Amino acid sequence: MRLVPRWALLSSGCAPSVLIAGWAIAAQLEGPAYDPATQTISALATYGAAGFWVMTAALAGLGVCHFLTALGLRAAALPGRVALGAGGVTACVVAVIPPPSSGGSLRHGAAVGIGFALLAVWPVLAADRRDAAPWALRIVPSATATVLMLVSAAWFMLEMHQDGPAGVAERLVTAIQSLWPFVVVASCLRHRYGEGPSN
């Protein structure tokens, strides 16, 4: 019995690719004025930035990928699928309300925070407590992924307040969050219920 459709491997695999390619190309367009170690991804999506459209398209693409993956990930518990899909919708919202070129934006910051939270908790909400569940949907890997995402998000928030390497921290948490759905889908495609835990 196939637990997820094969197209979910494409949608989940495209998520980290689209995000990383987006910030890499947008940073290249921005030139040496942009410091990826200390400046956030959102700085690339501000109005007037050289890579504005690239980063905006990447965020929207990321959101669509997460939403589609949530639709196809039938093996996951419903609360987790809802959180992943909502995280995808939030990424699209982030894309359409970029921060201003100077100063902060409460709407943008709130959308980013909600998106981080949804994408951090979806693994543990999606967990399947049965022993025969796919590896990435078992409670220990799922909880570990959630803890890792929450810790890296907390590091990002800390660096934002301390003017530290916030760009590095943000790229770490977003890379983990965008990659985990692919890990889950791949795990489901390799697994069949009833086989029991693999050795």
Angle at 151 between CA 106 and CA 96, to 5 degrees: 30
Cβ atoms < 10 Å from Cβ of 82:
16
Q: What is the pLDDT of residue 196?
A: 45
Query: Which of 85, 16, 119, 98 lies closest to 55 in space, CA to CA?
Result: 98
Burial profile 107-133: b = 16 or more Cβ within 10 angstroms, e = fewer: ebeebbebbbbbbbbbbbbbbbeeeeb
pLDDT score for 104: 67
The pTM for the full model equals 0.90
**Domain segments of the chain as ranges:** 7-189
pLDDT, position 131:
77
In tens digits, the chain (199 residues) has pLDDT values of 467 999 999 999 999 999 999 999 999 999 998 999 999 898 898 988 898 999 999 999 999 999 999 999 999 999 999 999 999 999 999 999 988 766 667 888 899 999 999 999 999 999 998 878 999 999 999 999 999 999 999 999 899 888 889 999 999 999 999 999 999 999 999 886 444 444 3
Can you state the percent helix, strand and coil of the chain, rounding each to 5? 70, 0, 30
Burial class (CB in 10 A: 0-12, 13-18, 19+), 151: middle
pLDDT at position 191 is 81
- What one-letter code names the amino acid at 15? A
Give residue 48's Cα distance to chain centre. Answer: 25
